[in-house]
């Protein structure tokens, strides 16, 4: 599923961020950095840390997360494509299907809606999608 939005000008890479995020109890919890601080690999700037690394940090802060693994909850990633001059938000369908959550990701990463492209990706499927268990 792709949602394409027309480009209006060039993004501000010193303000706009890339990174990783989770949907936890209706909130977007993220780790991010300004896109300008990340060197591109080919034509894509991707945040270097993985979800399992962020998850370990989150579990230390919230004991309620101890019984879950890093793939249980909806999650996603924001990358920047230098060729297309667009931010690519790849995420679980539970995030992409809700305008409110897409807006929270856009705002949380300091992006402009016109500079964003959304994509559903099987790598970010949560346990609800994989196994039919209840989402937190």
| Residue 130 confidence (pLDDT) above 70 | no
pLDDT more than 90, % of the chain: 56
Kindly report the three-state secondary structure assignment for every residue of 6-66.
CCCCCCCCCCCEEEEEEEECCEEEEEEEEHHHCCCECCEECCCCCHHHHHHHHHHHCHHHC
Of the pLDDT bands very low, low, confident and very high (cuts 50, 70, 90), residue 3 is: very low
H/E stretch holding 92:
none
Q: Which residue has the higher pLDDT, 19 or 62?
A: 19
Residue with tokens 């920047």: 80
| Residue 4 confidence (pLDDT) above 70 | no
The per-residue pLDDT for range 40-55, each reduced to its tens digit, is 999 999 999 999 999 9
Q: To the nearest whole number, what is the mean pLDDT of the chain?
A: 84
Q: What is the mean pLDDT of residues 20-34?
A: 92
The per-residue pLDDT for range 73-92, each reduced to its tens digit, is 889 999 999 999 999 999 99
The pTM of this model reads 0.83
């Amino acid at each position: 599923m792709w949602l394409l939005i027309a480009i209006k000008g060039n993004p501000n890479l010193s303000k706009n961020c890339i990174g990783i995020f989770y949907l936890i109890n209706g909130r977007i919890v993220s780790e991010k950095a300004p896109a300008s601080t990340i060197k591109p690999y080919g034509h894509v700037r991707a945040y270097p840390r993985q979800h399992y690394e962020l998850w370990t940090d989150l579990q230390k802060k919230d004991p309620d997360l101890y019984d879950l693994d890093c793939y249980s909850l909806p999650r996603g990633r924001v990358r920047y494509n230098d060729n297309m001059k667009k931010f690519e938000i790849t995420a679980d369908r539970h995030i992409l299907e809700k305008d409110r959550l897409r807006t929270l990701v856009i705002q949380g990463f300091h992006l402009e809606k016109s500079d964003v492209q959304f994509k559903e990706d099987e790598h970010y499927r949560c346990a609800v999608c994989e196994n039919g268990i209840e989402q937190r």
